[in-house]
A and B are shown apart, each in its own frame.
Chain A
Amino acid sequence: MSTLEFFLAGTLSAATIFLLAALGELVAEKSGVLNLGVEGTMAISAAVGFVVTFETGNHLLGFALAGVSGMLLSLVFAVIAISFLANQVASGLAVGILGLGLSALIGRDYESRTIASTDGISIPYLSEIPLIGPVLFQQNIVVYLTFALALVIGFTLTHTRLGLAIRSTGENPHAAQALGFPVFLIRYCAVAFGGLLSGFAGAYASTIYTPLWADGMIAGRGWIAVALVVFGTWKTGRIAFGAMLFGMVSLGELIAQSMGANIPSQLLSSLPYIVTIVVLALISRDTVRMRLHAPFSLGEVFDGSESR
Chain B
Amino acid sequence: MQFKLERRVEYSKKMLIATPIIAIVLSILVSSVLLAILNKPILLTMHSFFIAPFDNFYSITEIFLKFGPLLLIAQALAVGFRAKVWNIGAEGQMIMGAIAASAVPVYFVDSTSNWLLPAMIVLGALGGIAWASIAAILKTRYNANEILVTLMLSSIALQILYYLLLGPWKDPMGFNFPQTVMFQDEALFPPMFSGVRLNVSIFIPIAFTIGIWLFMEKHFGGFKLVVGGLAPNAATYAGFSAKKAVWSSLLLAGFAAGIAGMSEVAGPIGQLQRSVTSGYGYSAIIVAYLGALNPIGIVFAAFFLSVLQIGGDVALVSADLPISAVHVFQGLLLIFYLSAYAFVNYRFHIVRPTLQPKANLTS
Q: A304 — nearest CB in chain B belongs to which residue?
A: B4
Binds A, one of B46-54, B216-224, B328-336: B328-336
Partner of A85, one of B159, B335, B346: B346
User: In whole Å, how far is B29's beta carbon from the nearest beta carbon of chain A?
Assistant: 15
Do A36 and B147 touch across chains, with their CB atoms under 8 A apart?
A: yes
Q: Cβ of B7: which chain A residues have Cβ within 8 Å of it?
A: 303, 305
Would you call A155 an interface residue if the criterion is a C-beta within 8 Å of the partner chain's C-beta atoms?
no
How many A-B contacts at CB < 8 Å in the complex? 147
Would you call B144 an interface residue if the criterion is a C-beta within 8 Å of the partner chain's C-beta atoms?
yes
Q: Cβ of B341: which chain A residues have Cβ within 8 Å of it?
A: 84, 86
Query: For the complex, what is the distance from the CA of A178 to the CA of B177, rounded to whole Å?
Result: 64
Do A273 and B339 touch across chains, with their CB atoms under 8 A apart?
A: no
Interface residue ranges of A88-124 to B (CB < 8 Å) = 89-91, 93-105, 108
Query: For the complex, what is the distance from the CA of A102 to the CA of B30, rounded to whole Å?
Result: 13
Query: For the complex, what is the distance from the CA of A93 to the CA of B162, rounded to whole Å?
Result: 26
Query: For the complex, what is the distance from the CA of A270 to the CA of B152, rounded to whole Å?
Result: 9
Contact with A along B320-363 (1 / 0, CB 8 A): 00101111111110110011111001100000000000000110
Do A108 and B324 touch across chains, with their CB atoms under 8 A apart?
A: yes
Query: For the complex, what is the distance from the CA of A264 to the CA of B246, rounded to whole Å?
Result: 34
Interface size class of A (residues with CB under 8 A): 35 or more
Would you call A277 an interface residue if the criterion is a C-beta within 8 Å of the partner chain's C-beta atoms?
yes
Q: Cβ of A227: which chain B residues have Cβ within 8 Å of it?
A: 145, 148, 152
Partner of A226, one of B148, B163, B167: B148
Q: A109 — nearest CB in chain B belongs to which residue?
A: B322
Do B324 and A93 touch across chains, with their CB atoms under 8 A apart?
A: no
Partner of A90, one of B141, B156, B338: B338
Query: For the complex, what is the distance from the CA of A15 to the CA of B224, rounded to whole Å?
Result: 43
Q: Cβ of B240: which chain A residues have Cβ within 8 Å of it?
A: none
Query: For the complex, what is the distance from the CA of A87 to the CA of B5, rounded to whole Å?
Result: 15
Query: For the complex, what is the distance from the CA of A230 to the CA of B143, rounded to whole Å?
Result: 12
Binds B, one of A187-195, A233-241, A282-290: A282-290
Partner of A266, one of B160, B285, B339: B160
Partner of B162, one of A104, A220, A230, A266: A266
Do B144 and A80 touch across chains, with their CB atoms under 8 A apart?
A: no
User: In whole Å, how far is B243's beta carbon from the nearest beta carbon of chain A?
Assistant: 13
Do A277 and B325 touch across chains, with their CB atoms under 8 A apart?
A: no
Do B331 and A284 touch across chains, with their CB atoms under 8 A apart?
A: no
Most-contacted residue by chain B among A270, A285, A305 (CB, 10 A): A270
Would you call B208 an interface residue if the criterion is a C-beta within 8 Å of the partner chain's C-beta atoms?
no
Partner of B339, one of A80, A179, A267, A274: A80
Q: Cβ of A103: which chain B residues have Cβ within 8 Å of it?
A: 324
Q: What are the nearest 4 A-B pairs in CB distance?
A: A98-B331, A180-B361, A101-B327, A104-B324
